[in-house]
Every structure is written in C-alpha cells, then in structure tokens.
Structure 1
Amino acid sequence: MSRPPTFVPPPGARAYRLRTARGEFAVVDAPVAAGVEPKGTALLLPGFTGSKEDFNPLHGPLAARGYRTVAVDGRGQFESDGPVHDESAYAQQELARDVLAQAEALGTPVHLLGHSLGGQIARAAVLLDHSPFLSLTLMASGPAQISVSQQQRVKLLRDALAVMSMAEVWEAMRTMEPPEETDSGADLDAGLDDRDDLRRRWLGNKPAQLLATGRQLCTEPDRVAELAAVPLPFHVLSGALDDTWPVSILDEMALRLKARRTVIAGAEHSPNCDQPLATARALADFWDSTAPGTRR
C-alpha cells in the first residue's frame, strides 16, 4: 500500500505562488542544500488527483545531491486556480503551455519530470518546445491511454461529478471504496490528520480539470515516435508494479525512446511516495549523467 504524501514542506523549502506569463501557480521550491555545489533545477509535475505535495519526500535527498526542485500544482489542481466549469481551459495543449511558462519563469533550463498524467503533460510541453529543458523523466507514465481497469475508475468518477458536488463525491469514495492508492500514491485509509489533508486537496481541485484530464488519460494517443525525435535525454522510471500502465509497456516505451530505464523495487504507481530515497538516487544519477562531458 502506498504511503500518503506529507503536506508539510521539508526544512528549507518555500511554498509560494510562481508568477508566469500564464498566471500564478502554487509551488514548493526547495533549494540546494547548504554547502553543496548546485548542479541544476528540476520542475516536477504531479499526476491526476495529485499535487505538488506528492514530491515532498524527494526534495531533501535531491537537495543533498545538488538539485533545486520546484514542484507545482497545475492549473485547477489543489492550490492553483482555474475555471470551475470550463473544460476547454484544461485541454492538454493549454496545460503544456502552462509548463513552458513555468519553466520560463524559473529563469534557467530545467530537468522536467512528470508523474502519471503529469508525464503526458510534460511530453506535450516538450513536443511544443524542448528548448527550456535539459532532460525529460516520465515517472509511472505510459505511452498512451491508461489501462482498461483504470479507465473504468475514471469513468465512474466522471459520472459522479456530473451529478454530485466535490464534497459529495469525496464522501462517496470514502464510503464505497476499499482503501487503495490514488494516482498520487495517497493511501485513503491514512490517519485522521492525513485524511483531512487529502480531503482538503480533493476539494481544491476544479471539477472541470478532473473531467478534462480524466478524459485525456482515457484517450491519449501513442506519441512515442514523435518524442523519440526530440534531442533530449529521456528517463523512464517506475515501481516494480503498476496497474495504470503495466511495467512491460513502460519497458517497451523506454526501448523505443532509447531512454534510461529504472525500476524501483518495493514501489508501485508512486515511487516518489513508496521509496523516495531510491527514487531520488535514481533521478540524481540520471541528471548527473546528462551534464556536459558525461555520457547518457
């Protein structure tokens, strides 16, 4: 069972609103650890129903390796604003342009990482313009639509949102579903404090964002060939088990991309929450390998 994210930023990290040409986005920004030589900056995109807090366990270990990490709530996610009912505002190309604006606002080329849905948005951003990015890591994020079982879960959610409020949907999920991992890796049978934070995050999501991105997850085409033509280093990272995209599909995608492939033992769909130290080590090793004068 995946661990819930911690909603308290790690020591030294700062939560604020990043101003961009496309509006403000809530971020957690963790600087390089004191006394460590800076190596670069990474922009981290969360998954469906997730948030910037899903990356809190990674900030400290990556700061110790010399990387500033900036985790962001996308448009309409948790603490970033967005339209409540206008699904067109959450078209994939719009979300991809948001990522390009976020990278521009950070003022330096960045390593881009997307978890699950965030990986597909990251891919779309790179296909629009790869120049702001030093590398792309797809974490538990596959080549096309999600598995049939997960499509069924998304359809249930979309049907519920058509007739119920966000608060009513939350209560229905608590009552009707057994404890399982969400896309963010949060265990819905967590402690009371965690549960309150998870409920607050759920209520912060805009319904139109969930409807639009849920549809994207169920209909996303395979764009691996397009991505493979982009001159960036790629990394495909996942847990040893994944019911959203089977690990064998992620293995094949990595081959098609000529990407570094990392499988995190003891992790499932959210290795950032399940095994953060091993995940951070794999990320930093990959980013180190992309530095000038090193081999990918």
Structure 2
Amino acid sequence: MTTPSPFVPPPGARAYALRTARGEFAVVDAPVAAGVEPRGVALLVPGFTGSKEDFHLLHEPLAARGYRTVAVDGRGQNESDGPADDEAPYAQDELARDLLAQADALGTPVHLMGRSLGGQVARAAVLLDPAPFVSFTLMSSGPARISESQQQRVKLLHDALAVMTMAEVWQVITLMGPPEEVGGPARGFGGPELLRQRWLNHKPAQLLATGKQLCVEPDRVAELAAVPLPLHVLSGARDDTWPVPLLDEMAQRLGAHRTVISGAEHSPNADRPGATAEAFADFWDAHPPHH
C-alpha cells in the first residue's frame, strides 16, 4: 500500500506519474472545465526549488478558458525521482530532453510555459526541438544568468548543502527569510510543513547542479529568436532575479509578446494568479494549435 501524497491537487485536477521514454514524472493534470470548448494543452515547468504545486492557482482559471494544464515536477524535484548525489543527470541538456519526453508523452502539441529556471530549461528544449510546441512563454525567466544578489544566495545555499543535511539547511533558510528562489511562495500551496516536506523531497544533486546553471547560463536570446514559435515574456512589475528592464529588452530582442503583471514580483503565478492565467490564455487563444 503506497502512502498517499501530502501534496493534494486542486479541485478537479489529478496527480499521477506521467510515464515517458525517460522515466516517470509526477504531474498535476487539470482537464478543461465541464461544458467549455477545449482550446489546447499547456505544459507548466517550475523553477529552482519549485515544483508542480507552484501552479495550483492557475489550473482552475485556465480550465475555464478551455485549457488542459499539466504541471510537472522535473527530475529530482519534489515527487519526481532522481539521484541524490550524482549531478550528471541534472545537466541542462538532460533536463531539456526530459521535457521533450514529457511533451511527447502527452501526445499532442503543447503550449510550453517555463518559470524562472524552468524557463531556461524549456528554452534549451525548444532549441533542441521546437516541433512538440505550439508556443513558448517565459515567466520571470531572463536572457542569461541571474543577478549578482541572487548568485550570492545560490552560493550560500551551495555552501550550506556541502556541509549540512537538507533538514538543517531548511532551518537556516527559514531563519534567513526565503530568497526569491528558495522556499517560497506558500500561497496556494499549503502551510509551512508542506513547504518543508517539498524541500526535503528535493534531491541535493538537483539543487547543486541547477543552482550552478542559474549562475552561468549564457545569453541564448538570438538562438531562440530564430525559432519559428510564438513567444511570450511575462513577469511581475518587480523582479530581483532578473531586473524587469532586462526582461523588457529580452522581449524586444525576441520579438515576443510582453506582459507585465502589476502588483506581482518573481512569482506572478502566486502573487496574481487570476491576471497571470488571463494573460496566458489570451496569448494562447491568439496562437491556436494547427489542426
């Protein structure tokens, strides 16, 4: 008898293991709302220290707009398995291939949305093979490496993970106040105990490998601009991980649709889920899958 997951999906959604050619990945899969004309399928990719639960507040409004949404735990994130100590399987190219396998397993072209680190992994996937995707939205995800201040925080986390257990590191994080990329946000997610459980579920090697990626990611905007996919850059009005003017400039370089969610910071999905879902659906409506 398997223990039921403490991570309860939102109403109407189903949590299960998506079987792919590259193994199983934990997903939350929310169908189109009853009586609504289906308009497409979206794959939602979380950020550093994040998980599928970050998108809980988006499923319902997107279902009402005709979109089935599938939020995924990447390899080594929360309820998706991965090695605890070997960083090689978490190389960006490996994570990008995981994403292509997830899209393939869904069996239909998908609108791809990646948040923060997830945006950079998703970008790598699109650059490997854009074919499975109808459109690509980068949420709170910048052109290259993260800001100096966030690099310092990732380095602190890296140093802590080298000498402490995950449980000890979590205590430090909660005392320090969570940086943008660590531990939060709790809204729509559950209480502090669930956040702690998610943290403990993360594989240290995944955090170490992806933390390094965030600090060295090159600018691949020109490569992405050359891909014939509709692109969308969405962010809050404030962002400490990638300053908003940098995101504005990236959108221009990409020729992308640009949305700024007022009153939101690095997690528009949690800060203003209604407005964020609306912006996604408006963009997707303008770029339906070809039949």
TM-score of the pair, normalised by structure 2: 0.95
Letter aligned with residue 89 of structure 2 = A
Structure 2 matches for 1:86-105, cutoff 5 A?
Answer: 86-105=86-105
- Match for residue 164 of structure 1? 164
Alpha-carbon distance between aligned partners in 2 of 1:63 and 1:276, rounded to the nearest angstrom: 13
Whether the aligned pair in 2 keeps the contact of 1:185 and 1:269 (CA below 8 Å) is: no
Letter aligned with residue 141 of structure 2 = S
Task: Report the alpha carbon displacement of residue 205 of structure 1 after superposing the two structures with TM.
Answer: 0.3
Letter aligned with residue 48 of structure 1 = F
Whether the aligned pair in 2 keeps the contact of 1:79 and 1:204 (CA below 8 Å) is: yes
User: Over the residues paired in the alignment, what is the CA RMSD in angstroms?
Assistant: 1.7
- Distance verdict in 2 for CA 1:150–1:156, change over 3 Å: same
- Match for residue 3 of structure 2? none
C-alpha offsets along residues 195-219 of structure 1, whole Å, 9 cap, x if unaligned? 0000000000000000000000000
* 1:276 corresponds to 2:280: no
Task: Report the alpha carbon displacement of residue 183 of structure 1 after superposing the two structures with TM.
Answer: 4.9
Alpha-carbon distance between aligned partners in 2 of 1:105 and 1:292, rounded to the nearest angstrom: 17
- Match for residue 213 of structure 1? 210
Alpha-carbon distance between aligned partners in 1 of 2:117 and 2:280, rounded to the nearest angstrom: 19
Task: Report the alpha carbon displacement of residue 171 of structure 1 after superposing the two structures with TM.
Answer: 1.3
Whether the aligned pair in 2 keeps the contact of 1:32 and 1:63 (CA below 8 Å) is: yes
**Count, aligned residues:** 284
Alpha-carbon distance between aligned partners in 2 of 1:87 and 1:128, rounded to the nearest angstrom: 21
Whether the aligned pair in 2 keeps the contact of 1:239 and 1:267 (CA below 8 Å) is: yes
TM-score of the pair, normalised by structure 1: 0.93
Alpha-carbon distance between aligned partners in 2 of 1:289 and 1:277, rounded to the nearest angstrom: 19
C-alpha offsets along residues 256-285 of structure 1, whole Å, 9 cap, x if unaligned? 000000000100000000000000000000
Task: Report the alpha carbon displacement of residue 8 of structure 1 after superposing the two structures with TM.
Answer: 3.5
Alpha-carbon distance between aligned partners in 1 of 2:174 and 2:280, rounded to the nearest angstrom: 34
Alpha-carbon distance between aligned partners in 1 of 2:26 and 2:253, rounded to the nearest angstrom: 34
Paired-residue identity, %: 76
After superposing on structure 2, the runs of 4+ consecutive aligned residues of structure 1 that deviate more than 4 Å are none
Partner of 2:163, secondary structure, is coil
- Match for residue 260 of structure 1? 257
Alpha-carbon distance between aligned partners in 1 of 2:8 and 2:57, rounded to the nearest angstrom: 10
Partner of 2:232, secondary structure, is strand
Partner of 1:251, secondary structure, is helix
Whether the aligned pair in 1 keeps the contact of 2:183 and 2:195 (CA below 8 Å) is: no
Task: Report the alpha carbon displacement of residue 186 of structure 1 after superposing the two structures with TM.
Answer: 1.1
* 1:228 corresponds to 2:225: yes
Alpha-carbon distance between aligned partners in 1 of 2:183 and 2:58, rounded to the nearest angstrom: 14
C-alpha offsets along residues 169-193 of structure 1, whole Å, 9 cap, x if unaligned? 1112223x03554457415xx8xx6
Task: Report the alpha carbon displacement of residue 7 of structure 1 after superposing the two structures with TM.
Answer: 4.8
Structure 2 matches for 1:32-47, cutoff 5 A?
Answer: 32-47=32-47
Partner of 2:173, secondary structure, is helix
Alpha-carbon distance between aligned partners in 2 of 1:254 and 1:173, rounded to the nearest angstrom: 33
Partner of 2:136, secondary structure, is strand
Alpha-carbon distance between aligned partners in 1 of 2:264 and 2:8, rounded to the nearest angstrom: 22
Structure 2 matches for 1:1-296, cutoff 5 A?
Answer: 7-175=7-175, 177-178=176-177, 181-183=180-182, 185-187=184-186, 194-291=191-288
Q: Structure 2 regions of 5+ residues with no counterpart?
A: 1-5
Partner of 2:277, secondary structure, is helix
Task: Report the alpha carbon displacement of residue 9 of structure 1 after superposing the two structures with TM.
Answer: 1.8
Partner of 2:38, secondary structure, is coil
Whether the aligned pair in 1 keeps the contact of 2:9 and 2:28 (CA below 8 Å) is: yes
Alpha-carbon distance between aligned partners in 2 of 1:292 and 1:117, rounded to the nearest angstrom: 26
- Distance verdict in 2 for CA 1:74–1:228, change over 3 Å: same
Alpha-carbon distance between aligned partners in 2 of 1:238 and 1:183, rounded to the nearest angstrom: 18
